Every structure is written in C-alpha cells, then in structure tokens.
A and B are shown apart, each in its own frame.
Chain A
C-alpha cells in the first residue's frame, strides 16, 4: 500500500544542505501497524509527514496505492490529506473556539461531504473514543487525554486508509498514554486502517506489529 523508493529529504543551509532523510526504502502493507522509532532529530517525523503528504521530498518516490504522491499538485495533495490520511499530532492541534463535535467535523468542511451521514458518523466516533458526555464541551474544558481522543476521532471522520500519529502520547502521563495507545490500536483494527506511529518511546514501539528504527535519517 505504501512504498518509499530511494527517498531523500534535504534542507538548504546557506551554501550547504542538511540531509534529514537519506535513501529511505520502505514498504508498508495495508492494515499494518508499525512504529517508527528513533531519537529526537532522527527524521521520524519528517518521514511521517512525507507519507502524509504534508512535506515534500528532494529525491525518490513515495507510492501510495501505486501512485507517486511526490508528483501530485497542491490540490491533489490536499485531497489526499483530506480523504486518505488521518493525522494525530503530539500537540493535539485542536481548534479552541470549536466544540468537541465541531472539531471532529472540521475536515469535512474541506471535503464537501458534510451531511447528515457524516454527523451520525461523528456521533459514532465520539462514542467510540468515550467522549459522548463531552460532545458539546469546549476544548479548554478537556484534559490532555480527552483532547487526544478528540484528535483521534477527528482523524477518522473521513474514513482514511492511513492513520499517522506523531508522538501521540508525548504530552500525556504514562497511564493516559497507555489508554490512548490502546484506543489507537482498537480503532486501527475496527476501522481497518494502516497505523503508523512515530515515537521515541521503545515501550510504545514494542506494541506495534512491526518496528522501523531510524537514526540520522537512515533506516537501521
């Protein structure tokens, strides 16, 4: 489903450049649950962002369902992010002025498919992440764990095939982190998504089916 061929990511630094990813070759199957593990600055987030269509590559190919997204126009990439990928960020990235329910429905504003069915689906997701009682609550009224649950529900609203989580438990205590991880695992199974988690935590990584270690931009 996901195939990276000879992927390089370089950043210009004056006359020189910094190689964030170097010759990455990777294949991820449909419905797989993998962890990308590495220390801070190893390039794991960059790799995740490239798979998610948030960042571009300097060289190589990123094939999603046999289509090279590195050749996509900005509009096609937007469509890909909206329909095919669900993002869970370490910082939650929720809209503070919207309610839980409105935050979950946010991606549907950009896909023109906000209708009664998506609203019913949003209700189902709120239930699945255990926030039914907080449906109309403001984000500021929620705990860190609850915020991440909202972010997870939001990532699933357009029924994506790929779920990308960048340090999803990074801002949570151990117990809440475990619960969130369990939730991600469960939803990955019930929603039949490919789950890719980028983390520096070996304990989290151990729970995944496959583990990819990355260091200095290279898979080791």
Chain B
C-alpha cells in the first residue's frame, strides 16, 4: 500500500507540490514562532539568572496596600534599619545578608570619554564587597578608603549608552575594557536638572573597578562604608538606612521557604523562582498568541489541502473505482489516501523545518552581526530545539492526515460499478 501511495505521489506532481507547499509554509511559520518563543524565554531567564542566583532573595520594606495610608507614613518608617538586618540575618537558612544603601543627596557624575565631557545626574548606592566580589576587576580595590573611591557600574547601563546614545548620534561605542580604571568626578549637591542646585562646591573622585549585572542601573555603586561616610557629611539628617537587603540562602532549594519566613516578618521579598514564574506566565501569553497565529496559518494550509485532495478525488474516481473493482475495501481506499497525505505531510514538514532552520540561522547571524557590541542582546533570537522539531514534524504530518480525512472518506465511498462504467 505504501509503494502504491508513493507511486501516486510521484505521478501527481502538481498535487504533491501544492500540498507540500501548504504544509511547508505552515510548518515553517510554526517552527519560527516556536523558535522565537523559545529564544525569548531563554533570553529572559538568562537575563534574570545574570542578576540573581537561585539562592538570592531581595528584601525591601513592605509597601502598604492602601496608597492613601502610605501617603501619611514618613520616608524613614519605610526604610530598613540595622535591627531589620539583624532580624533577617538571624533567620534560619540565611547564609549572608548584604545591606544596600544609597546616598541621600542629589548628585551628578562627570567623566571624560574620548574627548567628550559627559555630566549627568545619578544616584549613588553602597554595597558590601561580598555581594559583588566576583565583578571587581582591580584586586583589593574595594577596601580603598582614600580617593579615588572604587566604583562599580551596571553592565546594562553601558549597553544602554551604546544602544541609545552612541550609535544613534554616531559617537564611538564603549567597551568594559576601556572604562576599567576610568576616573569619574562626583559632585554632591549638584544637579543638571534643578537650577537651585548648581553649585559644584565639592568634588569627589571615583574610579571604575568593575561592571556588574547585580547592581542598580540608575547610578553607580560604591563601598557601603564610603556611602555611609558621605551621608554623614552631606546628608547628616538622614539616619543610617538601607533601601534593600540582599539575602543569600545556604541552599537554593530552601529559598522559597526562607522568602516566606521573611515575608511573614512584614517585609517584601523578591527572588528568582518567583520572577521566573512571573516571566513564564507572561511568556505563556506570547506563546498562546504565536500559537494562535500558527494555527491560523496551518488552518489555511489545511483548507488548501482539503480543497486539493477533493479536486484530486474527483479526478481519480475511475482509478479508485478500479481499485474497488479489483478488491480494495473501503478502509483500504481511505488508508491509501491517508498514507499519501501523511507522506506528503512528512515531506512538507521536513522542508518547512529545513527552511525555518535556515531562516533562523540567517536571522540569528544578522542580529549577531548588527548588535554584537550589546551585552543585553541575547546570543540567539530564535532557538530551534529537537523538541520543537519533533512537535512541528508531528503537527505538520497530523494536519495533512487530518485535512485528507474527509476527502479520503469520500473516496472510500466511490461505487466501483459507477466508476468503471464512467
């Protein structure tokens, strides 16, 4: 029967081409959409993993649910204090707790880059060495108590500069290597935005010692003790406060449980697993949307296959009637048509997969070439896994069989005598 089906496929080249083409287009779209979905999912998770490991919890003050109530609370009440740090450190399973503080005064940062003097308002954060030790490129620099003070810059900030300023304005792009050791001048109490804060009365020298995915993107990060000293000098009214605490648990498996314990003590917690779940939910929406488009395309393919097969059955009445006259049972005729459909579906799906894979390689290479300087751009936009290939192969073949089912049923009811006497 398979041999007979193969002969039929070979001899009906136009039909084979039309159906294969429909399947190829459908499966190609499906594989690209699924590959895109996989790429986005992977990139999102990789990005999260860069900034947080599985055993990390970020603790912040609990935000009141009622905004009306929150308005009446003072800022200090909503900051974390030393006692909060002690409470968190004493929770079972907490290996380390790194408080993060911020400079409580307006400030601007100025630097010279490739002949250009850049000045901008920025926030200054303070963190202990343990939290970012792997990102410090200049050894022992974090313990420096004299100027220039060590500073860590967000890796994403560099990418954003390259992406949104350097390229659109035709300026040279900056790499991490060129910025290590670079001096930055910090002007406490000076702002480029507010006219009342235009006094560069004091300046503090900083030196870039590394780049990190873990530090805040909206400013620069210095050692915790330096920021505390600066606060005492430039913002003496502010108490020692932390805006968040980074908790490292002793076992990633216990992270969720420890986060729950911390939450129960009236703190807000954020951790990777929770964010992964949130992102998964969002990516799932995208998956459903892309699947809906793919189903629409495959449905169109399916209609084309039904139409082509129905036309073919009408043309093949004499031939199929002869098969019936020679002893073919109704289900054998149906089987023959379905085998033909599945073989064409399989062929079309393989072609669609190859085409989709080629397009994905082309897109990935193109994006890689165009955006190679950006750290935040994922390595591959389209990721076609063996699982996706299997799904597409299965679906492509199934759609062909499903679409051919009605024409096959119709073909199986051909009366041998009517077909022969035609």
Contacts and interface: CB of A to CB of B under 8 A. Distances in A.
A82 B333 CA distance: 14
Contacts of B416: 54, 81
A54 B327 CA distance: 10
Contacts of A95: 319, 322
A111 B10 CA distance: 23
A55 interface: yes
B325 A110 contact: no
Nearest to A79: B327
A8 B319 CA distance: 29
A18 interface: no
B420 A89 contact: yes
Contact of B326 (A74, A75, A110): A110
Interface residues of A, number: 24
A175 B325 CA distance: 29
B113 interface: no
Given A102-B7, A109-B1, A110-B332, A83 B417 contact: no
Given A109-B4, A110-B323, A54 B328 contact: no
A183 interface: no
Interface string A34-54: 000000000000000100001
Contact of B327 (A49, A83, A93, A98): A83
A25 interface: no
Category for how many chain B residues contact A = 20 to 34
A33 interface: no
Interface in B306-363: 318-319, 322-330, 332
Contact of A81 (B10, B11, B325, B332): B325
Given A97-B11, A110-B329, A78 B324 contact: yes
Contacts of A75: 329-330
A97 B327 CA distance: 20
A102 B332 CA distance: 18
Majority secondary structure of chain B interface residues (helix, strand, loop or mixed):
helix
Contacts of A98: 7
Interface in B4-20: 4, 7-8, 10-11
Nearest to B333: A110
Contacts, number: 60
Interface in B90-144: none
Contact of A106 (B10, B326, B329): B326
B417 A97 contact: no
Contacts of A89: 420
Nearest to B321: A93
B77 to A, nearest CB: 85
Interface in A69-109: 74-75, 78-79, 81-83, 87, 89, 93, 95, 97-98, 102, 106-107, 109
Nearest to B336: A109
A54 B420 contact: yes
Contacts of B420: 54, 89, 93
B11 A87 contact: no
Contacts of A93: 318, 322, 325, 420
Between A78, A87, A95, A98, the greatest number of chain B beta carbons within 10 A of the residue's beta carbon is seen for: A78
A98 B420 CA distance: 18
B329 A97 contact: no
Interface in B271-288: none
Nearest to A87: B325
A93 B319 CA distance: 8
Contacts of B328: 78, 82, 109-110
Contact of A82 (B4, B7, B326): B326
Contacts of B323: 106, 110
Contacts of B318: 93
Contacts of A78: 324, 327-330, 332
Nearest to B322: A93
A106 B329 CA distance: 14
A120 to B, nearest CB: 18
State the 7 A-B residue pairs at the shortest beta-carbon distance, nearest first: A82-B327, A97-B11, A110-B328, A78-B329, A107-B326, A110-B327, A81-B327
Interface of A: 49, 54-55, 74-75, 78-79, 81-83, 87, 89, 93, 95, 97-98, 102, 106-107, 109-111, 154, 158
